[in-house]
Amino acid sequence: MNKFPRSAYVHIPFCHRRCFYCDFAVIPLGNKVETLQGYGSKTVKEYLHFLYKEILSIKHKTSLSTIYVGGGTPSILDPQQIKQLIDLFKENYGVDYGAEITMEVDPASFNLDDLHGFINAGINRFSLGVQSFNNKILQKSGRRHLREDAEKSCSWLKKVYSSGLIKSWSLDLIQNLPLSGFREWKEDLKKAITFSPPHISIYDLNIENGTVFKKLANLGKLQLPSDEIAFRNSETTHLILKKSGYSRYEISNYCLPRHQSRHNRVYWSGLGWWSFGQGSTSSPWGQKLTRPRVSKEYKEWVIRQDKLSLDSSLNNINYVYQELDEKIMLGLRLKEGIDIYKFFEEQNWENKKSERNIIRLLSKWERFLESGLLVRKGNRFFLSDPKGMELSNQILISMFEWWDEIN
């Protein structure tokens, strides 16, 4: 285990507007924002001041192998501001040769000149939030862009990737949005594949508290695909992407060979990472710390950290293992699964206790092993694809029940 985190996530909370399914810590600025000079620039510059202050506050800096600029909509920022951010890491942490530096971009929030500006700033991988190519679905979901914006953005990214200007790019879709029946979802998948993205993320729609979708659901006005159609959509995803050469290496992520997201694997593998910005969560040595979600409270928190020394989770370099249930949950998301006995050894339980707990867990999992949702090879357990990955919640719920019982 490396003593110091080698990955950093940076949260840029600004959006033009909040999508109907979004519960992230974001700051909607409207459609006419200009982040260097003009409407919204003061808000952006003030946030970046505190963000940079937080990034510089870390005392245990070491060279980074992955950086992920997420949001919000980071592509609202000007390329100059992205360059300042990447340069801050280069000058104060160091960035490895060959590091993966990802930035989320949103159709209709950048143009071709911006894209080349982001590349010149140091971005070598992009994650494009398309969500759907269907205008009616986009409108029902509160998205700002249209089909033509998504197609144009995909074409630009395909071109810069083919030219060798970036290492990779990802296309994000959301499964089971309102109006997204079997035919619509199939068309979305097929359209996505025409652009040959090296990486595709397929997220299931979750109805979160505080969102427009949650309010509509409470009023009985949110019409979503039936469970039967949702399952057919999932099966179609697996078949179409597999036939097109994509490997499912994590429950929600597919890629062509050598295009897994290195940064996201840090989370799933239980390694430590830095995180900076409003509402973001860091876990440098196993202990998690979430920053305030409200802008004013986040700025006050940064000032306190600067004056009164860092939170203990940020300056304690003694590694604290994640809770076993979280390690199992994250590990099972990956195609290769987990070595359950290795996880138990790391708990430092006495042999009898360890053996007793394994037996109890395996008894919970027996029906999933028999049905083929869960597969065992020696000491390694992994979800079958596609059924095990699609129905993983059943397996995880049984594991959490086991964890509650033994504790």
HSE of 343, CA atoms in CB hemisphere, 13 A: 23
pTM for the whole thing?
0.93
d(CA 109, CA 121): 17
| Mean pLDDT value across residues 205-228 | 94
- Alpha helix stretches (DSSP H) within 212-261: 212-218, 227-243
366 has pLDDT over 60: yes
For residue range 218-263, list pLDDT tens digits in order.
999 999 999 899 989 998 999 999 999 999 999 999 999 999 999 9
The kind and range of the H/E element at 321 are none
pLDDT value at position 182?
94
For residue range 37-57, list pLDDT tens digits in order.
888 899 999 999 999 999 999
347 has pLDDT over 90: no
**What residue has token string 């008894």?**
363
Q: Which amino acid is at 25?
A: A
